[in-house]
Amino acid sequence: MMQRIIFLVDMQSFYASVEKVRDSSLQHQPVIVAGDPERRSGIVLAACPLAKKHGITTAETLGSALYKCPEVQVVRPHMQLYIDVSIQISKIMEQFTDLVEPFSIDEQFMDVTGSRALFGDQFEIAKKVQAKIMMDTGIYARVGIGPNKILAKMACDNFAKKNKDGIFRLDQNNIDKLWKLSVGKMFGVGSKMKRHLNGMGITTIGGLANFPVKLLRKRWGINGEVLWRSANGIDYSPVTVKTHDQQKAVGHHMTLPRDYNDLDEIKVVLLELCTEVARRCRLKGYMGTTITCGVRGANFDYPTGFHRQTTLPFATDYDLDIFKAAFNLLQQFWDNEPIRSLGVSLSNLQPSNNYQFDLFNNYLLKESLNNAFDTVWDKYGRTALFRASSLTAAGQASERAAKIGGHYK
């Protein structure tokens, strides 16, 4: 059986790179892309290589970045531009293979197994992909190569990004290079999991790869085996264009512009989130039964909050159904401490064109209201119609309508 050739193509400092292309005066300056510090979203979203040389890292506060490098150029994000460029890059990749799978806005998988007769061996193809992306967008791409997606991803993250040519292949012949790295460098291992693994005496990826899989399964179930397989470079998942066809959940999360500690104020934002979740579900043609509500406290040193869910006896895409369930969760599990962020999601999704009627639910009225809301929003925009509570000081609907993913378009 022919071994697959999978690429994980990653755009270097994507947001910052796009900004340098957009404004050539930034080319030779340290640049970071960050949110609005006055609205509590002053977090570094991307830092160019020149900024990283000063020790600036993604996700640190804007204040910390400015302290490290006072001369750094701070650019507000332009999310619609980044989305447009990401789509453009997808189309470039599709010139080399029809198997392109977006992994994030700046990372995409490619299966080029069947492309060698047209474009050369795997390294030639990688160089051609890099060159085409650079020529058409001005953005430098790094390419991790492997016989599967997990090895391509870890090849890119741990080796290609540090190579002069930005290309590296990782497979069973050189997996020992991966095994020497800290277990925290493995894809799928965050800081919390790293602490658990370290507590078991597992400090390297090789240590995890050679740890008895039965003990990992006993500790974490199927996730324990996934960790062991990843460490050993085992992954049978194909590169597919249908990855995002079926969603598992629709959600909305908001970092608040200030600490909210009054239940009535939190209710306002919670209702706005539920309205947005319901609208997104209808746009995608889904209804759902499981509502999840999550809150994060304002104190970073002593984290508080909760993440809980409840299931309705019927499927819904109506915002007040979602709100009532989410508000019940908030009342049960909120500790009355100030909160910094709030999120709601709807899962256990099913197509909205085929659902079971509930005798105790007025579906026709809800459907009529949904149609009325959607007709106005589609024609006049999201700020044309919202509840009066959003006009209070706590409301965020008008501000959020001008954003994509929490950032200005």
Instruction: Enumerate the active-site residues.
Output: 107
Q: What is the separation, in whole angstroms, between the first and last Cα of the chain?
A: 47
Q: Which residue has the tokens 């989305």?
A: 83
Q: Tell whether 106 is in a known binding site.
A: yes
Q: Cα–chain-centroid distance for residue 172?
A: 29
Q: Distance from CA of residue 312 to its chain's centroid? A: 27
355 alpha carbon, distance to own chain's centre: 30
Angle at 309 between CA 267 and CA 260, to 5 degrees: 30
Q: What is the DSSP letter of 182?
A: B
Cβ neighbours of residue 206 closer than 8 Å, sequence gap 6 or more: 176, 178, 179, 180, 231
Token output for 53: 């040389």
CB within 8 Å of 286: residues ≥ 6 apart: 247, 250, 317, 346, 349, 350, 351, 352
Indicate the Cα dihedral angle 192, 193, 195, 201, nearest 10°. 180
C-alpha span between 143 and 122 (Å, rounded): 10
SS3 of 298, please? coil
Please give the Cα distance from 141 to 131 (Å, whole number): 9
Q: Tell whether residue 10 is among the known ligand binding residues.
A: yes
The CA-based dihedral angle spanning residues 56, 58, 59, 60, taken in that order and rounded to the nearest 10 degrees: 0
List Cβ neighbours of 159 (8 Å cut-off, separation of 6 or more): 144, 168, 170, 177
Q: Quote the CA–CA distance of 22 and 24 in Å, as a whole number.
A: 6
Closest listed residue to residue 175, CA positions, set 156, 155, 160, 161: 155
Inter-residue contact 69 to 51 (CB < 8 Å): yes
Which residues are annotated as part of the binding site for Mg(2+)?
10, 106
Which residues are annotated as part of the binding site?
10, 106
